[in-house]
């Protein structure tokens, strides 16, 4: 709790200031309520839809020697550089030697044989 002044003069001054401040706040509330009643009500903005998670994605990885990796679209290990691709392109990339992600194993649901070591 705040410490209040011990003397009556300062307490009265504080009371006057608080009363004036409360009057200003109440007047502002009335002004805002009047504006809201007279202004046309805009509908709330529609939420921005999140982009659909792709089913399959490709990532260029590697430093110096680029490596192409195929991931499921919801793979936690893919990072933020996913490029969405179709299932057909994912199969073609895997057939051409792209590496399937070790975490999400996209080769399994695509019906591809496991990579050879």
Residue 116 lies in a domain: no
Each residue of 16-56: pLDDT tens digit? 999 999 999 999 999 999 988 887 777 878 888 887 778 88
Which is more confidently placed, 77 or 100?
A: 100
> What one-character-per-residue DSSP string does 44-109 give?
PPPPPPPPPPPSEEEEEE-SSS-EEEEEETT-TTSTT--EEE-HHHHHHHHHTTPEEPTTT-TTTT
Q: Is residue 2 included in any domain, yes or no?
A: no
Cα(70)–Cα(78) distance, rounded to whole angstroms?
9
60 and 90 share a domain? yes
Domain assignment present for 113 = no
* Whether residues 29 and 62 fall in one domain: no
For residue 20, the enclosing domain spans 8-35
Q: Which of 13-17, 99-103, 105-109 ranks highest by mean pLDDT?
A: 13-17
State how many domains the chain has: 2
Q: pTM (2 decimals)?
A: 0.51
Q: Which residues have CB under 8 Å from 63's CB, separation 6+?
A: none
43 domain residue, yes or no: no
């Amino acid at each position: 709790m705040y410490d209040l002044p011990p003397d009556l003069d300062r307490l009265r001054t504080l009371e006057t200031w608080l009363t004036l401040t409360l009057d200003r706040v109440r007047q502002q509330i009335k002004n805002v309520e009047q504006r809201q009643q007279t202004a046309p009500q805009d509908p709330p903005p529609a939420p921005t839809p999140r982009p659909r998670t792709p089913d399959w994605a490709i990532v260029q990885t590697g430093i110096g020697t680029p490596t192409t990796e195929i991931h499921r679209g919801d793979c936690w290990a893919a990072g933020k550089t996913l490029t969405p691709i179709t299932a057909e392109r994912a199969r073609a990339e895997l057939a051409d030697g792209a590496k399937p992600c070790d975490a999400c194993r996209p080769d399994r649901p695509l019906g591809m044989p496991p990579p050879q070591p």
